[in-house]
Structure 1
């Protein structure tokens, strides 16, 4: 393994660009008006080309730290000058060639914690810049899905398998495991030591360090998956969700919501707005990024959740925000992964409007859901548990009705399920008879019957070859079943 413990200064030029503010919206009672001014964005190109920046946070040292998945680096930005320093970090515990660099990153207990190496491992950065491996992931079944700061200075973790929630203590000496059952788990911690996490589109779950948990169902939005959570100053938990798409279909949809006590309130968008990256601002309000399609092109939008539960929107022009954070002076710093750029924007420079400018349709706010009926008294006899879905998977050498083939550009996998299920496809390299770490390729909701899943023989954009074991998992009603097959590419 290699640990980087020195900062290497690299010169970087800053570009300044003016963004057109949204046009003034029609006046309505209580609505904000869009000022006819321009928001100035300072741009700081990332030295490593196409580094795939993922998450950005304010570190204990006051600098901004961000991860570069493809660049195998950590980036450090001086908020005073915008100068970017890069720390190479490529931890390679084995001979697998499909690892990637840092991904999730949080600040907790005076340290920075980040996941890396296909999210298998977690490391910690000390105030002096020294990096130490905390968890190599060898004892974990799944890879890190999300990280959140814990009240004791450690971190909470969810993973890709969804069978446990983990917590590393502040001293990085103990890993606590909590049994769980979820799909895709965004996290947000609470000051009392507990944590909230999301279960795909189905539940919000509140877990205490003692292991007590409460699950709150949220309105079913089909295949829209929870991707981020944040608390506002009123103590309301907000969430964002959309259908992430896959290899053969684009991301779509968009819903945000919040808990009023234990009652969920939702706002759905009539269009593919893709809300994500929720963050509490210095004013105590929750902000999140969106992509709004105008004339066939995506435009960036920053949305703000107001105290009354309504939303306001500010245009970010051509910038598509991957993640963002606020510095103590109120400035907003963001990552544009496609532009390979860090951006800075004065929060007061944004003009907000009651509707996304140029959007196909404004969001609609349904009436609050009816309060659920009180639960039935517990039964004295055994309770029938839902059965796991039945999953049939065609092997490549199967005959008869199986039409699975390895084409020139893709692998076609035929599956059959007996009920509506979430189907996840993963692949792991097979070398010398040993199966390596699985990488999640796609996930989608399918109905009863037969469906085809197509894999383009690429992992994180890179073509792969050799032998790979494909794992297909079908989940429904809290139960899951998996099947595997071997592919020679």
Structure 2
């Protein structure tokens, strides 16, 4: 998608890109890096400059992307069943997990200097070192569809189990604990957040959830306009930010528990990935063909 896109409100700016961006993260070079799942590319955007694109196998399905401990970006190739690495110069290396057809989706840097990823089709959590050595750990449930993963405040990795309606925890030694949620919860996004806890969004039940390292869960219904929450991140001030996929919105929850819905109807549709950018603003990827920047200090201004 190219061309001008209308600007929705003060404090919200739109940066068109070519393709359908899915996930976005801040790279070690101070730029935004994003996946183009439908066209097999990795994009890079430094605000003020044209986007750059790095071609992969067009059918590989790059999905989640995250900074690695080695100064590169690491990403999952959901359709090609590989883990990818791209350095800031654009050089790509790919690694195949030992279990075939694993459907890797989420990926995050762990506290042990490795990357950890989810195998949606094989119910496994994988660990990959920066030189490409992969170890896999089976989960105690089948059909769980482990989705996104993040490093927790307790030195373990925490992940959502979308089809098992549960949150999982895995130590760096591979020990797994499962924390059940309600029926048809469908958790997707997860992040380490305020209160030394993990925060997740449940696309099925429409909740923002908090799980302490002791496994105690608290859920907060999302407001109108925030339906089908999908991805979540933590802001610099301890606020939570998440995408409302069906509501075409980004939603913030202040440290005091106040929700605010930021309507994106003037900037495109289908928000998915979300991150805090190098400028301290919140950025989200719209599958309709744009990255959107939300200035937390101005997003609530009247239009």
TM-score by length of 2: 0.75
DSSP-derived class of the 1:185 partner: strand
Match of 2:259 among 264, 277, 284: 264
Deviation of the 1:101 alpha carbon: 3.4
Task: Write the mapping of 1:396-475 to structure 2, written as runs, cut at 5 A.
Answer: none
Look up the match of 1:214. 218
CA contact (8 A) 2:128 2:135 kept: yes
Larger Rg over CA atoms: 1
CA pair 174-301 structure 1, distance change in 2 beyond 3 A: same
- Does residue 188 in structure 1 map to residue 191 in structure 2? yes
CA contact (8 A) 1:119 1:145 kept: no
Look up the match of 2:44. none
DSSP-derived class of the 1:103 partner: strand
CA pair 128-215 structure 1, distance change in 2 beyond 3 A: same
Cα distance between partner residues in 1 of 2:263 and 2:242: 12
- Does residue 255 in structure 1 map to residue 255 in structure 2? no
Cα distance between partner residues in 2 of 1:101 and 1:206: 27
Task: Write the mapping of 1:274-423 to structure 2, written as runs, cut at 5 A.
Answer: 274-291=270-287, 298=288, 300-308=289-297, 310=299
DSSP-derived class of the 1:186 partner: strand
Aligned pairs, number = 265
Deviation of the 1:206 alpha carbon: 1.1
- Does residue 273 in structure 1 map to residue 269 in structure 2? yes
DSSP-derived class of the 2:149 partner: strand
CA contact (8 A) 2:170 2:176 kept: yes
Cα distance between partner residues in 2 of 1:90 and 1:217: 40
DSSP-derived class of the 1:39 partner: coil
CA pair 162-43 structure 1, distance change in 2 beyond 3 A: same
Cα distance between partner residues in 2 of 1:61 and 1:303: 28
CA displacement, residues 435-478 of structure 1 (integer Å, 9 cap, x when unaligned): xxxxxxxxxxxxxxxxxxxxxxxxxxxxxxxxxxxxxxxxxxxx
CA pair 114-23 structure 1, distance change in 2 beyond 3 A: closer
DSSP-derived class of the 1:40 partner: coil
Match of 2:55 among 23, 45, 54: 45
Structure 2 residue runs without a partner (length 5+): 16-46
Deviation of the 1:289 alpha carbon: 1.2
Cα distance between partner residues in 2 of 1:103 and 1:139: 18
Deviation of the 1:72 alpha carbon: 2.1
CA contact (8 A) 1:90 1:101 kept: no
- Does residue 91 in structure 1 map to residue 99 in structure 2? yes
Task: Write the mapping of 1:26-45 to structure 2, written as runs, cut at 5 A.
Answer: 39-45=49-55
CA contact (8 A) 1:63 1:76 kept: yes
Bigger RCO (CA 8 Å, 6+ sep): 2
Deviation of the 1:214 alpha carbon: 2.5
CA pair 84-273 structure 1, distance change in 2 beyond 3 A: same
Cα distance between partner residues in 2 of 1:215 and 1:53: 31
CA displacement, residues 268-320 of structure 1 (integer Å, 9 cap, x when unaligned): 344761111001122332210124xxxxxx4x221122132518xxxxxxxxx
CA displacement, residues 391-431 of structure 1 (integer Å, 9 cap, x when unaligned): xxxxxxxxxxxxxxxxxxxxxxxxxxxxxxxxxxxxxxxxx
CA pair 269-191 structure 1, distance change in 2 beyond 3 A: closer
Query: C-alpha root-mean-square deviation of aligned residues, in Å?
Result: 3.3
CA pair 230-71 structure 1, distance change in 2 beyond 3 A: same
Look up the match of 1:72. 81
CA displacement, residues 41-66 of structure 1 (integer Å, 9 cap, x when unaligned): 332211x3411111111111111111
Deviation of the 1:226 alpha carbon: 0.8
CA contact (8 A) 1:242 1:254 kept: yes
Cα distance between partner residues in 2 of 1:117 and 1:236: 29
CA contact (8 A) 1:90 1:117 kept: no
CA displacement, residues 198-251 of structure 1 (integer Å, 9 cap, x when unaligned): 1225321111111233222221448x31111111112111111223xxxxxxxx
CA pair 32-305 structure 1, distance change in 2 beyond 3 A: closer
